[in-house]
Amino acid sequence: MTAAMVGWAHLPFGKHADETVESLVVKVATDAISDAGISPEDVDEIYLGHFNAGFSAQDFTASLVLQADDALRFKPATRVENACATGSAAVHQGVRAIRSGAARVVLVVGVEQMTTTPGPEIGKNLLKASYLKEDGDMPAGFAGVFGKIADAYFQRYGDQSDALAGIAAKNHKNGVGNPYAQMRKDLGFDFCRAESEKNPFVAGPLKRTDCSLVSDGAAAMVLTDTATALGMNKAVAFRSLAHVQDFLPMSKRDILKFEGCSKAWGQALGDAGLALEDLSFVETHDCFTIAELIEYEAMGLTAEGEGARAINEGWTQMDGRLPVNPSGGLKAKGHPIGATGVSMHVMTAMQLSGEAGDIQVRNAELGGIFNMGGAAVANYVSILQALR
């Protein structure tokens, strides 16, 4: 364990029409620095996770973090991007900077403002996270990509509509207790399962309740080396981390296996000397419910084609053998692309520090995070543990 989170901040996800990318960044960076109990002068390096892809006219954003305090002027600041895993990419870069000795204190910020973009443009922007040569004309945009995956899964393993509705219902129930979640409403299994005017089919077998929300939001953290962290007010260490990149075209792989996800989990658990059952909970990338279902299998919770067991038998509920997405996940919390991975790390740190309030997992000691970009193309896993 060479790096630890010693402070963090999280803005509520949702529609922030009165904010800008800059104002979101400034607020969350200021709050994270304050939470860590450090001064801006103490920061050695800055990483900003910001996907953008057309959501913001201001496309050169790394230096916006410096707007939080004049003392950040002349600090090295770099924008990091890896589709929907942009936030985790920034976090992992920050950890590597500390691990290498290049920095002692790193500020990581993740941000996205999506809701001010017209609806058709949102879909076009998100589709840029797929392989346009194959998917550029996909009906329903990125939802169409995962609708295609869901169709293929259903054909191979049978109708999974009950499982998908169970995942949506679980995450919405969890999100009720999360003050940062965009949708804090327990929709219930029956609503998520049935097609209705309020819950129409969007792509293939995926209904509206199977799709994550379009969001604005930001999250941030302060990282330092573990020796320094032991003298801070709180410290959540990176037990291990892994990044696995797979082919972009789905035609070059079995898309129902999420092999990059599986390999990333294997590497992270192996490096930490842990098994999946050692984890207290997992925050996983449920951009669509079919993704969470396949991720159960890829992380090794169930065998291939048996992911439905995990939700149908209650394994992933808050009181189950491995709670998954106690925060409500992307499904209820929202999915501002560049902020998502940072948010997942902050939520996990809150759990391990006993600060998670109404979504607190009992006796949380080890937390796992899986954040992916595209359809299991960029795969990031972190395993966190409280130092104090």
Active site residues per annotation:
84, 335
Q: Residue type at 347?
A: M
Is residue 168 a contact partner of residue 160, using CB atoms and an 8 Å limit? Answer: no
Buried residues in 93-121 as b, exposed as e (16+ CB within 10 A): bbbbbbeeeebbbbbbbbbbbbbebeeee
The DSSP result for 171-201, as a single string, is HHHHHTT-TT-S------HHHHHS--SSS-E
- Separation between Cα atoms, residue 364 and residue 368, nearest integer Å: 11
Is residue 18 a contact partner of residue 36, using CB atoms and an 8 Å limit? Answer: no
- Separation between Cα atoms, residue 384 and residue 152, nearest integer Å: 34
- Separation between Cα atoms, residue 361 and residue 366, nearest integer Å: 11
Phi, psi at residue 134, to the nearest 5°? -105, -35
Q: Which residues contact 330 (CB under 8 A, 6 or more apart)?
A: 212, 213, 285, 286, 287, 340
- For residue 1, how many other CB atoms are within 10 A of its CB? 15
Q: Which residues contact 203 (CB under 8 A, 6 or more apart)?
A: 139, 140, 143, 144, 146, 147, 148, 150
